[in-house]
Structure 1
Amino acid sequence: MPKTSYLDKNFKSTHYNNVRPSYPLSLVNEVMKFHKGPCKTLVDIGCGTGKATFLFEPYFEEVTGVDPSSAMLSIAEKEKNELRLNNKIKFVNAVGEDLSSIHPGTVDMVICAEAVHWCNLEKLFQQVSSTLRSDGTFAFWFYIQPEFVDFAPEALDVYYKYGWGKDYMGKYLDDNQREVLLNYGGEKLRSLLSDRFKDIEITIYSPSDAKASTVTAENSQFLWRTTTTLNQFREFVKSWSLYSSWTRDNPSKPDIADIFVDELKKVCYCENLDVPLKVEWSTFYYLCRKRG
Protein backbone atom coordinates (compact mmCIF):
# COMPACT_ATOMS: atom_id res chain seq x y z
CA MET A 1 0.00 0.00 0.00
CA PRO A 2 1.40 3.48 -0.87
CA LYS A 3 2.36 5.65 2.08
CA THR A 4 -0.54 7.74 3.38
CA SER A 5 -1.05 10.07 6.30
CA TYR A 6 -4.37 8.36 6.96
CA LEU A 7 -2.36 5.68 8.79
CA ASP A 8 -0.90 8.16 11.27
CA LYS A 9 -2.25 7.57 14.77
CA ASN A 10 -2.86 11.30 15.19
CA PHE A 11 -4.69 11.73 11.87
CA LYS A 12 -7.74 13.96 12.42
CA SER A 13 -10.38 11.39 11.48
CA THR A 14 -13.23 13.34 13.11
CA HIS A 15 -12.48 16.33 10.89
CA TYR A 16 -12.29 14.01 7.87
CA ASN A 17 -15.68 12.51 8.68
CA ASN A 18 -17.27 15.92 9.21
CA VAL A 19 -16.13 17.56 5.97
CA ARG A 20 -16.07 14.67 3.48
CA PRO A 21 -19.24 14.26 1.41
CA SER A 22 -21.27 11.07 1.45
CA TYR A 23 -22.59 9.33 -1.68
CA PRO A 24 -25.97 9.83 -3.36
CA LEU A 25 -28.73 7.27 -2.93
CA SER A 26 -29.03 7.14 -6.73
CA LEU A 27 -25.58 5.52 -6.86
CA VAL A 28 -26.53 2.97 -4.20
CA ASN A 29 -29.68 2.15 -6.18
CA GLU A 30 -27.65 1.75 -9.37
CA VAL A 31 -25.27 -0.70 -7.72
CA MET A 32 -28.13 -2.71 -6.24
CA LYS A 33 -29.94 -2.78 -9.59
CA PHE A 34 -26.81 -4.24 -11.20
CA HIS A 35 -26.44 -6.90 -8.50
CA LYS A 36 -27.83 -10.41 -9.09
CA GLY A 37 -28.68 -13.10 -6.57
CA PRO A 38 -28.56 -13.15 -2.78
CA CYS A 39 -27.85 -10.12 -0.60
CA LYS A 40 -26.49 -11.83 2.48
CA THR A 41 -22.89 -10.59 2.78
CA LEU A 42 -21.15 -7.33 1.87
CA VAL A 43 -17.51 -6.30 2.26
CA ASP A 44 -16.46 -2.63 2.09
CA ILE A 45 -12.75 -2.27 1.28
CA GLY A 46 -11.07 0.92 2.47
CA CYS A 47 -14.20 1.69 4.43
CA GLY A 48 -12.61 4.57 6.35
CA THR A 49 -15.15 6.09 8.72
CA GLY A 50 -17.92 3.97 7.21
CA LYS A 51 -19.68 6.42 4.92
CA ALA A 52 -20.40 3.80 2.25
CA THR A 53 -20.66 0.93 4.75
CA PHE A 54 -23.66 2.43 6.49
CA LEU A 55 -25.36 3.37 3.21
CA PHE A 56 -25.30 -0.25 2.01
CA GLU A 57 -25.98 -1.86 5.41
CA PRO A 58 -29.81 -1.95 5.05
CA TYR A 59 -29.56 -4.19 1.97
CA PHE A 60 -27.45 -6.98 3.52
CA GLU A 61 -27.59 -9.38 6.46
CA GLU A 62 -23.89 -9.27 7.31
CA VAL A 63 -21.49 -6.39 6.61
CA THR A 64 -17.71 -6.17 7.05
CA GLY A 65 -15.68 -2.99 6.67
CA VAL A 66 -11.94 -3.30 6.10
CA ASP A 67 -9.46 -0.44 6.57
CA PRO A 68 -5.82 -0.08 7.67
CA SER A 69 -6.42 3.17 9.59
CA SER A 70 -7.24 2.67 13.25
CA ALA A 71 -8.10 6.39 13.51
CA MET A 72 -10.71 6.06 10.75
CA LEU A 73 -12.14 2.84 12.19
CA SER A 74 -12.59 4.44 15.61
CA ILE A 75 -15.17 6.78 14.05
CA ALA A 76 -16.89 3.89 12.25
CA GLU A 77 -17.05 1.85 15.46
CA LYS A 78 -18.58 4.76 17.33
CA GLU A 79 -21.33 5.16 14.74
CA LYS A 80 -21.96 1.43 14.68
CA ASN A 81 -22.51 1.49 18.43
CA GLU A 82 -24.78 4.51 18.23
CA LEU A 83 -26.91 2.81 15.55
CA ARG A 84 -26.95 -0.45 17.55
CA LEU A 85 -25.58 -2.45 14.65
CA ASN A 86 -23.02 -4.45 16.62
CA ASN A 87 -24.56 -7.78 15.62
CA LYS A 88 -24.66 -6.89 11.92
CA ILE A 89 -21.50 -4.93 11.13
CA LYS A 90 -17.90 -5.68 12.00
CA PHE A 91 -14.80 -3.67 11.16
CA VAL A 92 -11.41 -5.23 10.45
CA ASN A 93 -8.11 -3.35 10.73
CA ALA A 94 -6.31 -4.54 7.58
CA VAL A 95 -5.18 -3.37 4.15
CA GLY A 96 -7.49 -3.90 1.19
CA GLU A 97 -5.18 -6.51 -0.30
CA ASP A 98 -5.62 -8.70 2.79
CA LEU A 99 -9.06 -10.27 3.04
CA SER A 100 -7.80 -13.35 4.86
CA SER A 101 -10.33 -12.83 7.65
CA ILE A 102 -13.16 -13.55 5.18
CA HIS A 103 -13.96 -17.07 4.01
CA PRO A 104 -13.31 -17.44 0.25
CA GLY A 105 -16.24 -17.61 -2.15
CA THR A 106 -18.84 -16.50 0.39
CA VAL A 107 -19.35 -12.79 -0.27
CA ASP A 108 -22.21 -11.48 -2.42
CA MET A 109 -20.87 -7.96 -2.97
CA VAL A 110 -17.61 -6.07 -2.49
CA ILE A 111 -17.59 -2.28 -2.65
CA CYS A 112 -14.69 0.16 -2.55
CA ALA A 113 -15.44 3.87 -2.25
CA GLU A 114 -12.65 6.33 -3.02
CA ALA A 115 -9.98 3.80 -2.05
CA VAL A 116 -8.87 1.58 -4.97
CA HIS A 117 -5.92 3.89 -5.67
CA TRP A 118 -4.41 3.11 -2.26
CA CYS A 119 -4.08 -0.58 -3.17
CA ASN A 120 -1.88 -2.80 -5.30
CA LEU A 121 -4.42 -3.42 -8.05
CA GLU A 122 -3.28 -6.91 -9.00
CA LYS A 123 -3.35 -8.13 -5.40
CA LEU A 124 -6.59 -6.34 -4.66
CA PHE A 125 -8.48 -7.79 -7.62
CA GLN A 126 -7.16 -11.27 -6.81
CA GLN A 127 -8.39 -10.96 -3.24
CA VAL A 128 -11.78 -9.59 -4.27
CA SER A 129 -12.23 -12.36 -6.83
CA SER A 130 -11.28 -15.01 -4.29
CA THR A 131 -13.69 -13.63 -1.71
CA LEU A 132 -16.73 -13.25 -3.99
CA ARG A 133 -19.10 -16.03 -4.92
CA SER A 134 -19.62 -16.77 -8.61
CA ASP A 135 -21.40 -13.81 -10.26
CA GLY A 136 -20.90 -11.74 -7.12
CA THR A 137 -20.72 -7.97 -7.61
CA PHE A 138 -17.64 -5.78 -7.35
CA ALA A 139 -18.40 -2.03 -7.39
CA PHE A 140 -16.00 0.84 -6.84
CA TRP A 141 -16.23 4.57 -7.40
CA PHE A 142 -14.57 7.97 -7.07
CA TYR A 143 -15.35 11.63 -6.86
CA ILE A 144 -12.33 13.34 -8.37
CA GLN A 145 -12.56 17.09 -7.92
CA PRO A 146 -15.10 19.83 -7.32
CA GLU A 147 -15.26 22.17 -10.31
CA PHE A 148 -16.33 25.78 -9.76
CA VAL A 149 -18.58 25.87 -12.79
CA ASP A 150 -19.00 29.65 -13.03
CA PHE A 151 -15.25 30.18 -13.03
CA ALA A 152 -13.93 27.44 -15.29
CA PRO A 153 -11.32 26.80 -16.55
CA GLU A 154 -9.31 29.22 -14.40
CA ALA A 155 -10.48 27.72 -11.10
CA LEU A 156 -9.80 24.21 -12.38
CA ASP A 157 -6.29 25.24 -13.35
CA VAL A 158 -5.71 26.38 -9.77
CA TYR A 159 -7.08 23.09 -8.47
CA TYR A 160 -4.73 21.12 -10.72
CA LYS A 161 -1.78 23.27 -9.65
CA TYR A 162 -2.16 22.62 -5.93
CA GLY A 163 -4.12 19.36 -5.85
CA TRP A 164 -2.45 17.38 -8.62
CA GLY A 165 0.71 19.32 -9.49
CA LYS A 166 4.03 17.72 -8.55
CA ASP A 167 5.34 21.02 -7.13
CA TYR A 168 2.67 20.98 -4.43
CA MET A 169 0.46 18.32 -2.82
CA GLY A 170 0.35 16.19 -5.95
CA LYS A 171 3.97 15.21 -5.29
CA TYR A 172 2.64 12.64 -2.80
CA LEU A 173 0.76 10.70 -5.50
CA ASP A 174 2.68 7.86 -7.11
CA ASP A 175 2.37 7.11 -10.82
CA ASN A 176 -0.27 4.41 -10.35
CA GLN A 177 -2.45 6.66 -8.19
CA ARG A 178 -2.13 9.48 -10.69
CA GLU A 179 -3.15 7.13 -13.51
CA VAL A 180 -6.24 5.87 -11.65
CA LEU A 181 -7.41 9.29 -10.51
CA LEU A 182 -6.72 11.35 -13.62
CA ASN A 183 -7.68 8.75 -16.23
CA TYR A 184 -10.92 7.45 -14.72
CA GLY A 185 -9.28 4.21 -13.69
CA GLY A 186 -6.82 3.91 -16.55
CA GLU A 187 -5.84 1.16 -18.95
CA LYS A 188 -3.83 -0.89 -16.47
CA LEU A 189 -6.74 -1.04 -14.06
CA ARG A 190 -9.16 -2.04 -16.83
CA SER A 191 -6.84 -4.76 -18.10
CA LEU A 192 -6.31 -6.28 -14.66
CA LEU A 193 -10.02 -6.05 -13.91
CA SER A 194 -11.02 -7.86 -17.11
CA ASP A 195 -8.75 -10.80 -16.21
CA ARG A 196 -10.99 -11.74 -13.29
CA PHE A 197 -14.33 -10.01 -13.85
CA LYS A 198 -17.04 -9.80 -16.52
CA ASP A 199 -20.01 -7.60 -17.46
CA ILE A 200 -17.86 -4.56 -16.72
CA GLU A 201 -19.73 -1.26 -16.83
CA ILE A 202 -17.85 2.04 -16.59
CA THR A 203 -19.69 5.31 -16.06
CA ILE A 204 -17.90 8.65 -16.17
CA TYR A 205 -19.25 12.14 -15.63
CA SER A 206 -16.94 15.12 -16.05
CA PRO A 207 -18.34 18.65 -16.37
CA SER A 208 -15.10 19.85 -17.99
CA ASP A 209 -14.31 16.83 -20.19
CA ALA A 210 -17.28 16.05 -22.40
CA LYS A 211 -15.23 13.61 -24.51
CA ALA A 212 -14.47 11.46 -21.47
CA SER A 213 -18.01 11.42 -20.11
CA THR A 214 -20.10 8.35 -20.83
CA VAL A 215 -23.30 9.96 -19.51
CA THR A 216 -24.80 13.42 -19.36
CA ALA A 217 -25.62 15.25 -16.16
CA GLU A 218 -29.28 14.36 -16.68
CA ASN A 219 -28.48 10.62 -16.92
CA SER A 220 -25.71 10.26 -14.35
CA GLN A 221 -26.49 8.22 -11.23
CA PHE A 222 -23.44 9.74 -9.53
CA LEU A 223 -24.14 13.43 -10.01
CA TRP A 224 -23.19 16.00 -7.43
CA ARG A 225 -24.32 19.55 -8.02
CA THR A 226 -24.08 21.63 -4.91
CA THR A 227 -22.63 24.82 -3.48
CA THR A 228 -19.62 25.35 -1.29
CA THR A 229 -17.89 28.34 0.20
CA LEU A 230 -14.15 28.82 -0.02
CA ASN A 231 -13.97 28.44 3.75
CA GLN A 232 -15.70 25.06 3.45
CA PHE A 233 -13.43 24.12 0.57
CA ARG A 234 -10.40 24.94 2.74
CA GLU A 235 -11.61 22.45 5.37
CA PHE A 236 -12.17 19.84 2.65
CA VAL A 237 -8.55 20.26 1.50
CA LYS A 238 -7.38 19.82 5.07
CA SER A 239 -9.00 16.36 5.13
CA TRP A 240 -6.67 15.09 2.37
CA SER A 241 -3.85 12.70 3.10
CA LEU A 242 -1.83 14.82 0.63
CA TYR A 243 -2.40 17.90 2.78
CA SER A 244 -1.30 16.11 5.96
CA SER A 245 1.83 14.85 4.23
CA TRP A 246 2.65 18.33 2.93
CA THR A 247 2.21 20.03 6.32
CA ARG A 248 4.28 17.31 7.99
CA ASP A 249 7.16 17.90 5.58
CA ASN A 250 6.85 21.71 5.45
CA PRO A 251 6.21 22.77 9.06
CA SER A 252 7.76 26.23 8.67
CA LYS A 253 5.97 27.17 5.45
CA PRO A 254 2.61 29.01 5.23
CA ASP A 255 -0.46 26.75 5.29
CA ILE A 256 -0.84 25.31 1.79
CA ALA A 257 -4.65 25.27 2.17
CA ASP A 258 -4.62 29.04 2.76
CA ILE A 259 -2.44 29.62 -0.30
CA PHE A 260 -4.74 27.39 -2.35
CA VAL A 261 -7.84 29.29 -1.25
CA ASP A 262 -6.22 32.69 -1.74
CA GLU A 263 -5.55 31.89 -5.37
CA LEU A 264 -9.05 30.52 -5.87
CA LYS A 265 -10.42 33.70 -4.30
CA LYS A 266 -8.76 35.73 -7.05
CA VAL A 267 -10.00 33.68 -10.00
CA CYS A 268 -13.51 33.38 -8.50
CA TYR A 269 -13.65 37.13 -7.72
CA CYS A 270 -14.77 36.22 -4.21
CA GLU A 271 -13.50 38.42 -1.39
CA ASN A 272 -16.08 36.99 1.01
CA LEU A 273 -15.01 33.41 1.74
CA ASP A 274 -18.50 32.53 2.99
CA VAL A 275 -20.30 33.25 -0.30
CA PRO A 276 -21.77 30.02 -1.77
CA LEU A 277 -20.23 29.03 -5.12
CA LYS A 278 -21.76 26.50 -7.52
CA VAL A 279 -19.84 23.25 -7.77
CA GLU A 280 -20.06 20.10 -9.89
CA TRP A 281 -17.97 17.03 -9.17
CA SER A 282 -16.18 14.82 -11.67
CA THR A 283 -17.11 11.23 -10.83
CA PHE A 284 -16.75 7.72 -12.15
CA TYR A 285 -17.82 4.24 -11.09
CA TYR A 286 -17.21 0.65 -12.16
CA LEU A 287 -19.66 -2.24 -11.85
CA CYS A 288 -18.66 -5.83 -12.63
CA ARG A 289 -19.23 -9.47 -11.71
CA LYS A 290 -16.86 -12.25 -10.78
CA ARG A 291 -16.26 -14.69 -13.57
CA GLY A 292 -17.93 -18.05 -12.95
Structure 2
Amino acid sequence: MTSFSDSSYGSKAYADFRPSYPSKLYTVLLDYHQGAKTFAIDQGCGPGTAALPLAAYFTKVIGTDPSAGMIEQATKAAAAKHFTNVQFMKSPAEEIPFAANGSVDFISASQAAHWFDHDKWFNETARVLRPGGTLTFFGYLDHTYKNSPIANEIIQEFSYGKNYLGPYWEPGRYILRNLYRDIHPPTSLFRDIERQLYIPGQTDEAFQMVAKTMTLAASEEYVRTWSSFHNWCKEHPGEIARRHNGEGDIVDRLFDRLRGSTGWTDKTVLEIEWSSVIALCRRR
Protein backbone atom coordinates (compact mmCIF):
# COMPACT_ATOMS: atom_id res chain seq x y z
CA MET A 1 0.00 0.00 0.00
CA THR A 2 1.27 3.48 -0.89
CA SER A 3 0.90 6.74 1.03
CA PHE A 4 -1.96 7.74 -1.26
CA SER A 5 -4.05 4.91 0.19
CA ASP A 6 -3.66 6.19 3.77
CA SER A 7 -6.92 7.49 5.19
CA SER A 8 -5.01 10.57 6.40
CA TYR A 9 -3.77 11.48 2.93
CA GLY A 10 -5.31 14.70 1.54
CA SER A 11 -7.11 13.47 -1.57
CA LYS A 12 -8.86 16.82 -2.09
CA ALA A 13 -5.56 18.72 -2.14
CA TYR A 14 -4.26 16.22 -4.68
CA ALA A 15 -7.28 16.96 -6.88
CA ASP A 16 -6.90 20.72 -6.43
CA PHE A 17 -3.17 21.24 -6.89
CA ARG A 18 -1.81 18.43 -9.07
CA PRO A 19 -1.39 19.29 -12.77
CA SER A 20 -3.77 17.96 -15.40
CA TYR A 21 -2.94 16.67 -18.87
CA PRO A 22 -3.41 18.69 -22.08
CA SER A 23 -5.63 17.58 -24.92
CA LYS A 24 -2.58 16.62 -26.97
CA LEU A 25 -1.90 13.75 -24.56
CA TYR A 26 -5.23 12.18 -25.48
CA THR A 27 -4.47 12.84 -29.16
CA VAL A 28 -1.28 10.76 -28.77
CA LEU A 29 -3.19 7.96 -27.01
CA LEU A 30 -6.07 7.87 -29.47
CA ASP A 31 -3.83 8.14 -32.54
CA TYR A 32 -2.06 5.01 -31.31
CA HIS A 33 -5.25 3.14 -30.38
CA GLN A 34 -6.82 0.92 -33.03
CA GLY A 35 -10.32 -0.47 -33.29
CA ALA A 36 -13.36 -0.17 -31.04
CA LYS A 37 -13.74 2.46 -28.31
CA THR A 38 -16.45 0.75 -26.31
CA PHE A 39 -14.88 0.00 -22.93
CA ALA A 40 -11.90 1.69 -21.24
CA ILE A 41 -10.41 1.26 -17.77
CA ASP A 42 -8.22 3.84 -16.01
CA GLN A 43 -6.23 2.27 -13.17
CA GLY A 44 -4.83 4.18 -10.22
CA CYS A 45 -7.30 6.82 -11.32
CA GLY A 46 -6.82 9.16 -8.35
CA PRO A 47 -9.43 11.95 -8.46
CA GLY A 48 -10.31 11.13 -12.07
CA THR A 49 -7.48 13.09 -13.68
CA ALA A 50 -7.37 10.93 -16.83
CA ALA A 51 -10.55 8.88 -16.49
CA LEU A 52 -12.85 11.88 -16.92
CA PRO A 53 -11.25 13.13 -20.16
CA LEU A 54 -11.25 9.57 -21.54
CA ALA A 55 -15.04 9.51 -21.11
CA ALA A 56 -15.25 11.83 -24.12
CA TYR A 57 -13.76 9.13 -26.35
CA PHE A 58 -15.12 5.83 -25.01
CA THR A 59 -18.67 4.57 -24.59
CA LYS A 60 -17.94 3.36 -21.05
CA VAL A 61 -15.08 4.16 -18.68
CA ILE A 62 -14.36 2.63 -15.28
CA GLY A 63 -11.76 4.21 -13.01
CA THR A 64 -10.20 2.15 -10.23
CA ASP A 65 -8.00 3.09 -7.30
CA PRO A 66 -7.11 1.43 -3.97
CA SER A 67 -7.80 4.69 -2.12
CA ALA A 68 -11.37 5.27 -0.92
CA GLY A 69 -10.61 8.97 -0.63
CA MET A 70 -9.53 9.21 -4.26
CA ILE A 71 -12.63 7.32 -5.40
CA GLU A 72 -14.79 9.75 -3.44
CA GLN A 73 -13.11 12.76 -5.10
CA ALA A 74 -13.40 11.20 -8.57
CA THR A 75 -17.07 10.38 -8.08
CA LYS A 76 -17.80 13.95 -7.00
CA ALA A 77 -15.94 15.33 -10.00
CA ALA A 78 -17.89 13.10 -12.40
CA ALA A 79 -21.19 14.16 -10.83
CA ALA A 80 -20.26 17.85 -11.02
CA LYS A 81 -19.56 17.50 -14.74
CA HIS A 82 -22.67 15.37 -15.32
CA PHE A 83 -20.76 12.42 -16.74
CA THR A 84 -23.07 9.44 -17.13
CA ASN A 85 -20.72 6.99 -18.86
CA VAL A 86 -17.97 6.85 -16.24
CA GLN A 87 -17.94 5.20 -12.82
CA PHE A 88 -15.35 4.65 -10.13
CA MET A 89 -14.63 1.73 -7.84
CA LYS A 90 -12.10 0.83 -5.17
CA SER A 91 -9.81 -1.86 -6.57
CA PRO A 92 -6.09 -2.61 -6.96
CA ALA A 93 -4.70 -2.49 -10.49
CA GLU A 94 -3.63 -6.13 -10.34
CA GLU A 95 -7.24 -7.28 -10.06
CA ILE A 96 -9.96 -6.58 -12.64
CA PRO A 97 -12.77 -8.92 -11.53
CA PHE A 98 -15.48 -6.84 -13.19
CA ALA A 99 -14.15 -7.40 -16.75
CA ALA A 100 -14.46 -10.60 -18.76
CA ASN A 101 -11.63 -12.06 -20.81
CA GLY A 102 -10.99 -9.99 -23.94
CA SER A 103 -13.76 -7.49 -23.17
CA VAL A 104 -11.75 -4.26 -22.78
CA ASP A 105 -10.54 -2.00 -25.58
CA PHE A 106 -8.21 0.34 -23.70
CA ILE A 107 -6.46 0.41 -20.31
CA SER A 108 -4.52 3.36 -18.94
CA ALA A 109 -2.56 4.05 -15.78
CA SER A 110 -1.90 7.73 -15.10
CA GLN A 111 0.85 8.58 -12.58
CA ALA A 112 0.37 5.12 -11.04
CA ALA A 113 2.22 2.29 -12.81
CA HIS A 114 5.31 2.68 -10.59
CA TRP A 115 3.25 1.43 -7.63
CA PHE A 116 2.03 -1.79 -9.29
CA ASP A 117 3.19 -5.41 -9.04
CA HIS A 118 4.13 -5.48 -12.70
CA ASP A 119 4.07 -9.23 -13.35
CA LYS A 120 0.55 -9.56 -11.93
CA TRP A 121 -0.56 -6.35 -13.60
CA PHE A 122 0.60 -7.29 -17.08
CA ASN A 123 -0.98 -10.74 -16.81
CA GLU A 124 -4.31 -9.32 -15.63
CA THR A 125 -4.46 -6.51 -18.18
CA ALA A 126 -3.60 -9.01 -20.92
CA ARG A 127 -6.44 -11.24 -19.74
CA VAL A 128 -9.12 -8.58 -20.12
CA LEU A 129 -7.82 -6.70 -23.18
CA ARG A 130 -9.06 -7.79 -26.58
CA PRO A 131 -6.42 -8.65 -29.19
CA GLY A 132 -5.05 -5.35 -30.47
CA GLY A 133 -6.38 -3.47 -27.43
CA THR A 134 -4.22 -0.69 -25.99
CA LEU A 135 -2.35 -0.60 -22.70
CA THR A 136 -0.76 2.73 -21.85
CA PHE A 137 0.94 4.05 -18.74
CA PHE A 138 2.17 7.59 -18.37
CA GLY A 139 3.37 9.95 -15.67
CA TYR A 140 5.30 13.07 -14.70
CA LEU A 141 7.90 14.06 -12.12
CA ASP A 142 10.41 16.62 -10.92
CA HIS A 143 8.81 19.96 -11.66
CA THR A 144 11.01 22.82 -12.78
CA TYR A 145 10.46 26.57 -12.63
CA LYS A 146 11.07 28.05 -16.07
CA ASN A 147 14.01 30.47 -16.28
CA SER A 148 15.10 30.00 -12.66
CA PRO A 149 18.15 27.72 -12.33
CA ILE A 150 18.60 28.66 -8.67
CA ALA A 151 15.03 27.67 -7.78
CA ASN A 152 15.45 24.38 -9.64
CA GLU A 153 18.68 23.63 -7.82
CA ILE A 154 16.96 24.25 -4.50
CA ILE A 155 13.93 22.10 -5.34
CA GLN A 156 16.12 19.19 -6.50
CA GLU A 157 18.14 19.28 -3.29
CA PHE A 158 14.94 19.41 -1.27
CA SER A 159 13.34 16.57 -3.23
CA TYR A 160 16.16 14.05 -3.07
CA GLY A 161 18.77 15.26 -0.57
CA LYS A 162 19.40 12.94 2.36
CA ASN A 163 18.74 15.75 4.84
CA TYR A 164 15.45 16.66 3.20
CA LEU A 165 12.80 14.44 1.55
CA GLY A 166 15.14 11.99 -0.17
CA PRO A 167 14.77 9.23 2.46
CA TYR A 168 10.97 9.53 2.53
CA TRP A 169 10.13 8.47 -1.02
CA GLU A 170 8.73 4.99 -1.51
CA PRO A 171 10.66 2.71 -3.93
CA GLY A 172 8.17 3.27 -6.73
CA ARG A 173 9.28 6.89 -7.00
CA TYR A 174 12.62 5.83 -8.43
CA ILE A 175 10.88 3.76 -11.11
CA LEU A 176 9.06 6.91 -12.15
CA ARG A 177 12.20 9.01 -11.82
CA ASN A 178 13.81 6.72 -14.40
CA LEU A 179 10.86 7.54 -16.68
CA TYR A 180 9.46 3.99 -16.58
CA ARG A 181 12.49 2.55 -18.37
CA ASP A 182 12.42 -0.26 -15.80
CA ILE A 183 8.86 -1.33 -16.67
CA HIS A 184 8.93 -3.81 -19.54
CA PRO A 185 5.67 -5.09 -21.05
CA PRO A 186 6.32 -8.79 -21.78
CA THR A 187 6.66 -9.31 -25.51
CA SER A 188 4.85 -12.63 -25.18
CA LEU A 189 1.70 -10.63 -24.30
CA PHE A 190 2.21 -7.21 -25.91
CA ARG A 191 3.57 -5.82 -29.17
CA ASP A 192 4.26 -2.44 -30.84
CA ILE A 193 5.83 -1.02 -27.67
CA GLU A 194 6.48 2.73 -27.89
CA ARG A 195 7.75 5.37 -25.45
CA GLN A 196 7.70 9.15 -25.63
CA LEU A 197 9.84 11.15 -23.19
CA TYR A 198 10.05 14.81 -22.31
CA ILE A 199 12.86 16.23 -20.16
CA PRO A 200 12.96 20.04 -19.83
CA GLY A 201 16.02 21.50 -21.50
CA GLN A 202 17.02 18.16 -23.04
CA THR A 203 14.27 17.04 -25.42
CA ASP A 204 12.10 18.72 -28.03
CA GLU A 205 9.47 21.00 -26.48
CA ALA A 206 6.93 19.51 -28.88
CA PHE A 207 6.84 16.50 -26.53
CA GLN A 208 6.00 18.56 -23.44
CA MET A 209 2.89 17.07 -21.83
CA VAL A 210 2.63 18.47 -18.32
CA ALA A 211 2.87 22.18 -17.54
CA LYS A 212 0.96 24.64 -15.41
CA THR A 213 0.89 28.31 -14.49
CA MET A 214 0.79 28.61 -10.70
CA THR A 215 1.47 31.16 -8.02
CA LEU A 216 4.29 30.39 -5.63
CA ALA A 217 1.64 29.76 -2.96
CA ALA A 218 -0.09 27.18 -5.17
CA SER A 219 3.28 25.61 -5.90
CA GLU A 220 3.70 25.12 -2.15
CA GLU A 221 0.32 23.40 -1.99
CA TYR A 222 1.44 21.08 -4.78
CA VAL A 223 4.60 20.12 -2.87
CA ARG A 224 2.43 19.31 0.14
CA THR A 225 0.67 16.61 -1.96
CA TRP A 226 3.91 14.63 -2.36
CA SER A 227 3.95 11.16 -0.82
CA SER A 228 7.44 11.89 0.56
CA PHE A 229 6.10 14.87 2.49
CA HIS A 230 3.20 12.76 3.79
CA ASN A 231 5.76 10.20 5.03
CA TRP A 232 7.95 12.93 6.53
CA CYS A 233 4.98 14.28 8.50
CA LYS A 234 4.33 10.88 10.04
CA GLU A 235 7.90 10.77 11.36
CA HIS A 236 7.91 14.41 12.54
CA PRO A 237 4.57 14.92 14.30
CA GLY A 238 6.01 17.69 16.46
CA GLU A 239 6.91 19.94 13.53
CA ILE A 240 3.75 21.89 12.77
CA ALA A 241 3.18 24.06 9.70
CA ARG A 242 2.69 27.77 10.29
CA ARG A 243 -0.76 27.52 8.75
CA HIS A 244 -1.66 25.33 11.72
CA ASN A 245 -0.16 27.79 14.21
CA GLY A 246 3.12 25.89 14.49
CA GLU A 247 6.68 27.13 14.18
CA GLY A 248 7.02 25.74 10.65
CA ASP A 249 7.69 22.44 8.95
CA ILE A 250 10.09 21.31 6.23
CA VAL A 251 7.97 22.80 3.42
CA ASP A 252 7.77 26.16 5.20
CA ARG A 253 11.56 26.14 5.36
CA LEU A 254 11.85 25.24 1.67
CA PHE A 255 9.64 28.10 0.56
CA ASP A 256 11.37 30.55 2.89
CA ARG A 257 14.57 29.63 1.06
CA LEU A 258 12.94 29.98 -2.38
CA ARG A 259 11.56 33.42 -1.54
CA GLY A 260 14.90 34.54 -0.15
CA SER A 261 16.87 33.29 -3.16
CA THR A 262 14.56 34.52 -5.92
CA GLY A 263 12.71 37.55 -4.52
CA TRP A 264 9.41 35.81 -5.29
CA THR A 265 6.33 36.36 -3.14
CA ASP A 266 3.39 34.03 -2.61
CA LYS A 267 1.55 35.90 -5.39
CA THR A 268 4.34 35.59 -7.96
CA VAL A 269 2.97 33.77 -11.01
CA LEU A 270 5.30 31.06 -12.28
CA GLU A 271 5.53 28.85 -15.35
CA ILE A 272 6.16 25.28 -14.23
CA GLU A 273 6.77 22.14 -16.27
CA TRP A 274 7.46 18.51 -15.50
CA SER A 275 9.46 15.71 -17.08
CA SER A 276 7.05 13.13 -18.48
CA VAL A 277 6.78 9.72 -20.11
CA ILE A 278 4.13 7.98 -22.18
CA ALA A 279 4.45 4.24 -22.79
CA LEU A 280 2.11 2.41 -25.17
CA CYS A 281 1.65 -1.19 -26.27
CA ARG A 282 -0.98 -3.47 -27.84
CA ARG A 283 -2.31 -6.83 -26.70
CA ARG A 284 -1.13 -9.61 -28.98
User: Considering the TM-score relative to the shorter chain, is it more than 0.5?
Assistant: yes
| Residue in structure 2 matching 1:206, options 199, 210, 216 | 199
Distance 1:8 1:159 in 2: 25
- How far is 1:225 from its partner? 4.4
Distance 1:130 1:62 in 2: 19
Q: Deviations over 1:137-182 (max 9, x none)?
A: 0111111122112122x3333222222334432323344531x222
Whether the aligned pair in 1 keeps the contact of 2:43 and 2:64 (CA below 8 Å) is yes
After TM superposition, the structure 1 = structure 2 runs for residues 56-205 of structure 1, keeping only pairs within 5 Å, are 56-86=54-84, 88-152=85-149, 154-178=150-174, 180-186=175-181, 188-190=182-184, 192-205=185-198
Are 2:278 and 1:285 equivalent residues in the alignment?
Answer: yes
Q: Which segment is superposed worse, 107-116 or 94-103?
A: 94-103
Q: Deviations over 1:58-88 (max 9, x none)?
A: 11111111100001111111222333434x2
| Residue in structure 1 matching 2:219, options 233, 249, 260 | 233
**Residue in 1 aligned with 2:252?**
258
- How far is 1:239 from its partner? 1.4
Whether the aligned pair in 2 keeps the contact of 1:203 and 1:284 (CA below 8 Å) is yes
Q: Which segment is superposed worse, 3-12 or 106-115?
A: 3-12
- How far is 1:195 from its partner? 4.5
Q: Which segment is superposed worse, 8-17 or 103-112?
A: 8-17
Whether the aligned pair in 2 keeps the contact of 1:4 and 1:245 (CA below 8 Å) is no
Gaps of 5+ in 2: 240-247
**Residue in 2 aligned with 1:32?**
30
1:147/1:271 CA distance change after superposition, 3 Å = closer
1:110/1:166 CA distance change after superposition, 3 Å = farther
Distance 1:167 1:97 in 2: 35
Distance 1:139 1:112 in 2: 6
Distance 2:77 2:151 in 1: 36
Identity %: 29
SS in structure 1 opposite 2:279? strand
- How far is 1:226 from its partner? 4.0
**Residue in 2 aligned with 1:52?**
50
In structure 1, what residue type is equivalent to 2:179?
Answer: Y
Q: Deviations over 1:31-76 (max 9, x none)?
A: 0011000000000000011111110001111111110000111111
**Residue in 1 aligned with 2:234?**
248
Distance 2:78 2:213 in 1: 30
Q: Deviations over 1:233-253 (max 9, x none)?
A: 110011122211211211113
**Residue in 1 aligned with 2:242?**
none
| Residue in structure 2 matching 1:4, options 2, 6, 9 | 2
Distance 2:87 2:162 in 1: 38
In structure 2, what residue type is equivalent to 1:168?
Answer: Y
SS in structure 1 opposite 2:157? helix
Distance 1:151 1:15 in 2: 26
1:247/1:176 CA distance change after superposition, 3 Å = closer
Whether the aligned pair in 1 keeps the contact of 2:62 and 2:88 (CA below 8 Å) is yes
SS in structure 2 opposite 1:198? strand
Q: TM-score, normalised by structure 2?
A: 0.90
Could you say what the CA RMSD is over the residues aligned between the two structures, in angstroms?
1.9
